Amino acid sequence: MAAAPPPIPPGPTRAPDASSEVTLADWPGVRLHVVSGKGGTGKTTVAAALALTLASLGRRVLLVEVEGRQGISQVLDVPPLSIEDRLLMKVSGGGEVWGLAIEVKAALLEYLDIFYKLGRAGSILEKTGAIDFATTIAPGVRDVLVVGKVYESVRRRRGGGTQAGPPFAYDAVVLDAPPTGRIGHVLNVNDEVAELAKVGPIRGQADSITRMLRSGTAVVHLTTLLEDMPVQETVDAVAQLASIHVPVGAVIVNQARDDVLSPETLAALGQGDGELAAVGTAFESVGLPGGDDVVAALAAEARDHAERIALEDELLTVLADLDRPLYVLPRIAGGADPGGVRILAQQLAEQAVWQ
Ligand SMILES: Nc1ncnc2c1ncn2[C@@H]1O[C@H](COP(=O)(O)OP(=O)(O)O)[C@@H](O)[C@H]1O
Ligand SMILES: [Mg+2]
C-alpha cells in the first residue's frame, strides 16, 4: 500500500512516528547509494538531494565525496567536508546528514594502521614519501582505498566497531561517485586487488567489498540529461555494471525542462504555418511587428523546439527501456543552490514508490 512521502525540509517538524519506518520500495534493504553519471549531469547535486530525501525519513545519512572536489559544500552551503565524519545538518523528522571527504592519502594511512598496525610507523612512511609514492604509482590502489573507506562507513556500528549488536552508525551512505567512465573500474575492486594482493588482509577485504556490492546492500544510481551523449553513457553504464554484477538503482533524468508548447501546438507546427500566421496577425493588431519575416523566424524557432522535444521523447523511451525506476528532476532556474536541492529532494520523495 503506497504511503504519502514525508515532507522535505524546510517544512513542519514531523514527530518521529510510524512513517519514519517508511522505506523506499524502489530500493529495499539498500544502505549504500552510489551516484554516478556522465560528468556535469548532476551527480553532486543529486547525491546531496538524495541524502536530504533519506534524512527526511528520520535516517542518519552519511554523504561522501571523493578526491577533494568539495562540490557538496557548495551545493548545500555547508563548510568543506573533512576526512572525518562531521554533522552537516539536522532535518525535520529527526534525520541527520553527515559529511565525509575521502582523501586517498588519509585513507591509505588508516588502512595501513588497521591492517598492519602501523600506527606511528605509518606517519614515518608518510614522512619518507612512501605514501605519495604508493598513491601515485598504482592508480588501482586509489580506487581500492576509496571503496574500502566507503565500505568501512557502511559497516561501522555506533560506538565504532563492526561487530553485530549496536545499530549501524549510518542508516544510509550516499556516495557522490566518480563519473560513469570510471565507475566500473572503481567498483570492480576485486580484479584490481587481484593484481596487487593474492592473499592476506587486503585480499580478504576486497572479497568482502565485492560481496557487499553484489548483495543488494548497494546500488548505483545513474544521472543523465536528455541529450544523446549522456543517455548513451547511461546505457553503456547499465551494461557495464551488469557485467560486474553491481545492481543499478534508479536512472535519474536531471534538468528536464517543462514542455513549453502543448502537444497540440507541436502537432500543428508539423503541419504548416497556419497557427503562426494567426500569431502574426495578433501581433500586428496590438502594434507589434507581425510581418512575414517575423512569422518565419518564429516558425523556425518553434520547429527547432518541436524537434528537440521529439528527440527528448525518444531518449526518454531509450531510458525507460532500461527497465529501472526512472526519476525526472526539473531544471531549477538559476542553478542548483541549497534551495534548489531541497526542491529536487522533494521531487525524489514524490516520485519514489513508497511502502
Ligand atoms: N536540476 C538542476 N537544475 C539546475 N541546475 C542544475 C541542476 N542539477 C545540476 N545543476 C547544475 O549543473 C551543474 C553540474 O551539476 P553537478 O551536480 O556539479 O554535476 P556533476 O557532479 O555530475 O559534475 C552545476 O552547475 C549545478 O548547479
Ligand atoms: Mg560533481
The model's pLDDT over 134-177, given as tens digits with 9 standing for 90+, comes to 666 566 777 888 888 999 999 999 988 888 888 899 999 999 99
Do the bridges between strand 326-330 and strand 248-256 make them parallel or antiparallel, or are there none, so unpaired?
A: parallel
Q: What is the pLDDT of residue 274?
A: 67
Residue 53 grid cell: 530525501
Ligand 1 touching residue 33 (CB < 6 A): no
Distance from C-alpha of 69 to C-alpha of 42, rounded to nearest angstrom: 14
Distance from C-alpha of 80 to C-alpha of 16, rounded to nearest angstrom: 30
What does DSSP assign to residue 196?
A: H
Distance from C-alpha of 51 to C-alpha of 53, rounded to nearest angstrom: 5
Q: What is the pLDDT of residue 189?
A: 78
**Atom from ligand 1 closest to the CA of residue 69:** 21
**Atom from ligand 1 closest to the CA of residue 337:** 27
Please count the CA atoms within 13 angstroms of the CA of 46 that sit on its side-chain side.
Answer: 30
Ligand 1 touching residue 178 (CB < 6 A): no
Residue listed under C-alpha cell 570510471: 182
**Atom from ligand 1 closest to the CA of residue 75:** 27
Distance from C-alpha of 291 to C-alpha of 308, rounded to nearest angstrom: 26
* Positions of the chain with pLDDT under 50: 1-2, 5-23, 355
Residue listed under C-alpha cell 565485492: 210
Residue type, 55: A
Q: What is the pLDDT of residue 144?
A: 81
**Atom from ligand 1 closest to the CA of residue 179:** 22
Candidates 325, 332, 328; CA nearest to 347 is: 328
> For 235-261, how does the pLDDT look when each residue is reduced to its tens digit (9 = 90+)?
999 999 999 999 999 999 999 987 766
Q: What is the pLDDT of residue 340?
A: 95
Ligand 1 touching residue 40 (CB < 6 A): yes
Distance 6 CA to ligand 2 centre (A): 27
Closest residue CA from atom 9 of ligand 1: 42
Ligand 1 touching residue 254 (CB < 6 A): yes
Ligand 1 touching residue 71 (CB < 6 A): yes
Q: What is the pLDDT of residue 133?
A: 61
Residue listed under C-alpha cell 504511503: 3
Closest residue CA from atom 10 of ligand 1: 336
Residue 111, Ramachandran bin (φ over 0: left; ψ between -120 and 50: alpha; else beta): alpha
Task: Say which residues have a Cβ less than 8 Å from residue 223's Cβ, sequence separation at least 6.
Answer: 35, 36, 37, 38, 41, 42, 43, 46, 252, 254
Q: What is the pLDDT of residue 19?
A: 38
Q: What is the pLDDT of residue 22?
A: 41
**Atom from ligand 1 closest to the CA of residue 330:** 1
C-alpha distances in Å from residue 169, one per residue of 52, 62, 146, 172: 17, 9, 19, 9
Distance 342 CA to ligand 1 centre (A): 13
Q: What is the pLDDT of residue 11?
A: 30
Distance 200 CA to ligand 2 centre (A): 35
